[in-house]
Amino acid sequence: MPFDDLSLDNLESLFPAEYGPEKTARAKTAFFKNLSLALHRYYGGKIQVLPRCGIYSLNWFNLWYTPGVSKISTTIRDDRDASFELTGRGNTVAVVSDSTRVLGDGDCGPSGGLGVMEGKALLMKYLGGIDAVPLCIDSRGKDGKNDPEKLIDFVKMVQHSFGAVNLEDISQPNCFRVLDELRESCNIPVWHDDAQGTACVTLAALINALKLAGKPVDKAKIVLLGAGAANSAIARFILADGGRGENMAVFDNRGGLHPGRGDLRANAGAYRQWELCERTNPGRIDSIGEAVKGADVLIALSSPGPDTVKREWVRSMASGAVVFACANPVPEIWPYAAREEGAYIVATGRGDFPNQVNNSICFPGILKGVLAVRARKISDTMAIRCAHSIAEFASDRGISTDNIIATVEETDVFAREAADVAMEARNEGLARLDRSWDEVYNLARADIAAARSLTGEMKRLGFIREPPPDLMQEILRQTLEEMS
C-alpha cells in the first residue's frame, strides 16, 4: 500500500471484520504505535534545519557569518527588538518540556519527550508556517525531584532567542507555577499547550456541540472527569465564556471538587483546583455517578479507557447528551459505546474517529497570530477568542453531529485564528506591531503555503525519502500477530 493512501477508510479495511468495533479500535492503536516506531527509526527523527538565505558561492559566508554578521550583532545590541527582524527569532518558538507527563505515559525522563516535542515542532511548521526548536531539559534537583524553578530559570535565560515559548508535558503542580511565573516575567508569550491549548480547542468543540444540541452554555449542566492541568483550564474557560458554576461539577481521583475539600484548601497556592472548589459544585456531590445523572455534557480528560467512563453514566445523562472522551491513546469510553447508550454527540482526542478534539487545531494558529504582531503574552481572553474563531470557522462551512470542529486538513482555519488572535492582542494592548486583520491573515496563509510547498518539493526531489513499500505490510502483519 502506498504511504500516500494511509487514510481512515483504508485503515479500517485492513483488519478482519470479525474483530468488531472495540478490537478494531485497539488494533488501530497498536498499528499506529508500531508504524510510528518503525518510521521514526527509518527517518532518524522528524525535523531538520535548512537555510532560508541565498548561498550563491562560498564567499557569501562573509555576509552570513564573519565579518559581515558583526553589523547584525551591534545593531541588535543597540536595539534589542531588531532581533525580531534581523534573525529568525520573530517566527521561532521554543518547545520546552521536562518530560514529566508525556501524553498518557507519565514521566519518561528528560529526553523521553523529545519525540513528542519534535512532533510539536513539525506541526507548527506544516500547519502554521512556524519554525520551532524542541528543548527537553533535566529539571531534577539534588533530591531527585523535579524543581519548577529550574524550568523557570531556563526559559528566562533562553527567551532572547525566541518569539514565543510553548510549554509541554510538565506534571502538576509544577506546570501551574511555571506558567504563572513565566507569563508575567517574560517579555514574549509563554503558552502551556496542555492546559490553555486543550481548553481552547475543547471550548471550540463545546460551542458547536451545544449549538447542535440546542442547549445554551449558561443553562447546560456540565460534568468534568479529571482535574489535571487540562480539565482545570477547560473549566475556567467555560466559566469565563458564560458557563455557570452552580451547573458544573469537576471530579478528581478523590471525588468532587467543592468547598469541603480540605486537602486542596491546604495546597491552594500550588494547585489551581481550589479556585474551582470555590466556584463549582455547590451541592458538594462526591459521586460522579450521581453528578452525571441528567447532565448535558460530560468532558473526560482522565485515565485512558475504555471503561473509565461507564456505560450507565452515559445512559443516565439528559437527552441530547454531549460526551467528550479525550484521553489518549484510548478514550475513556469508545465512541460506539457512548452512542449505543444514547449520546447525541461524541468526541475524542483521536484522528481516526469523528470529532477529534486535538490541540493541533489550535496552537499553530494562535502562536502564528501572536508572532505576527510580536505580542508580549497570551491572555486567557486571547485563547477564548481563538476558541470562538475555530468554532465560527466550522459553523460557517457547516457542522453536524459527526463534524463539530475544524480539522487539520482545513488550512484556512489556522490563518483565520492567527488574524483573530492578533486583533485581540492588539485590542488588549499586548501587540508590538500594528498589523491589520488582512495583513496577519495573508502573512499566515503565505507562510503555511510555503512550508507545505517546501515539504512537497523535498519529497518530489528525493530529499525526503519514501519508506520501503513493504514496510506497512510488515507492520500490519506484526500488529495482527499481537492481536491474535
Q: Which residue matches cell numbers 497570551?
A: 378
**What is the distance of C-alpha 174 from the center of its chain?**
18
What fold does the segment set 58-188 form as a domain? Rossmann fold (3.40.50)
Q: Tell me the backbone φ, ψ of residue 400, rounded to 5 degrees.
A: -150, 175
Please check the confidence at residue 38 and state whether its pLDDT lies above 60: yes
Q: Which amino acid is at 38?
A: A
Domain range list for the chain? 58-188, 194-435
Locate the DSSP E strands across 258-357: 297-300, 322-325, 345-348
What is the 3-class SS of 16-67, one letter each residue?
Answer: CHHHHHHHHHHHHHHHHHHHHHHHHHHHCCCCCCCCCCCCCCHHHHHHHCCC
The rounded distance, in Å, linking the Cα atoms of 455 and 469 is 20
Coil, strand or helix: which one is 61? helix
9 falls in which pLDDT band (50, 70, 90)? low
- Rounded to two decimals, the pTM is 0.92
Please compute the mean of the pLDDT values over residues 306-315 and round it to a whole number.
96
Please check the confidence at residue 431 and state whether its pLDDT lies above 90: yes
pLDDT in tens, 434-467: 999 999 999 999 999 999 999 999 999 999 999 9
pLDDT in tens, 105-159: 889 998 999 999 999 999 999 999 999 999 999 999 889 899 999 999 999 999 9
pLDDT in tens, 233-280: 999 999 999 999 999 999 999 999 999 998 888 877 667 789 999 999
Please check the confidence at residue 298 and state whether its pLDDT lies above 80: yes
pLDDT in tens, 375-407: 999 999 999 999 999 999 999 999 999 999 999
What fold does the segment set 194-435 form as a domain? Rossmann fold (3.40.50)
Active site residues: 65, 120
453 with 407: CB under 8 angstroms?
no
4 falls in which pLDDT band (50, 70, 90)? low
